[in-house]
Amino acid sequence: MATDVAARGLDIEKLDAVINYQISREPDVHTHRIGRTGRAGNKGMAHTLFCKKEQFKLDRLADTRNQLIEISALPSPSLLNSPAYQADMITLKIDAGKKQKIRAGDILGALTGENGIEGNAVGKIALFDFCTYVAINRSACSKALKKLEKGKIKGRSYRVRKL
């Protein structure tokens, strides 16, 4: 399985959670999979989705680990009818970056210039070689997007999209 192969090659610091969609055939493999979280004194959670037919694997895993495994039901499907959480910030991607000699100040200036948004509506600006990601308050996002689409950064127009 891809998850077993990937688990062997990944060494990610501070991974908060691992979610397995099935229990591995071998308890040691499963232990290795969930070992990607809570490493080096950090805390983490491992969740495994399983069906009744896999109960024997779960029992074998609990016996092998000599550990009690908590079982809880999935949330009710009616939860899907509830509105999803919306973050306070939205990310805009600008198709320009360090190679175009763009700096964070250039983007901030383009956003907050004449008829622009407030400076405190702009969050982190992450510059890469060929693109830039900008966090914008949800309430100012449409105005910021229009400002960048119609305006210029350092005298040039660039493609901008909301992620």
Dihedral (C-alpha) 73, 79, 80, 83: value to the nearest 10 degrees?
Answer: -150
Interatomic CA distance for residues 160 and 151, integer angstroms: 11
Model pTM? 0.58
Residue 5 has pLDDT above 60, yes or no: no
CA-derived radius of gyration, the chain: 23
Q: Structure tokens of 114?
A: 């004449």
Spatial distance between the Cα atoms of 3 and 34, rounded to a whole number of angstroms:
10
Domain boundaries, the chain: 2-73, 89-162
Instruction: For domain 2-73, give its CATH number from 1.10.10.10, 3.40.50.300, 3.30.2130.10, 3.10.50.40.
Output: 3.40.50.300
Fold classified for 89-162: Alpha-Beta Plaits (3.30.70)
Classify residue 81 by its DSSP letter. Answer: G
Pair 20, 46: CB distance under 8 Å: yes
pLDDT digits (tens, 9 = 90+) for 95-115: 999 999 999 999 999 999 888
Cβ burial, residue 102 (10 Å; 0-12/13-18/19+): buried
DSSP structure class, residue 88: S
Residue 19 bridge partners (DSSP): 47
Residue 54: band (very low, low, confident or very high) from pLDDT cuts 50, 70, 90: confident
pLDDT at 10: 59
Residue 88 CA from chain centroid, whole number: 15
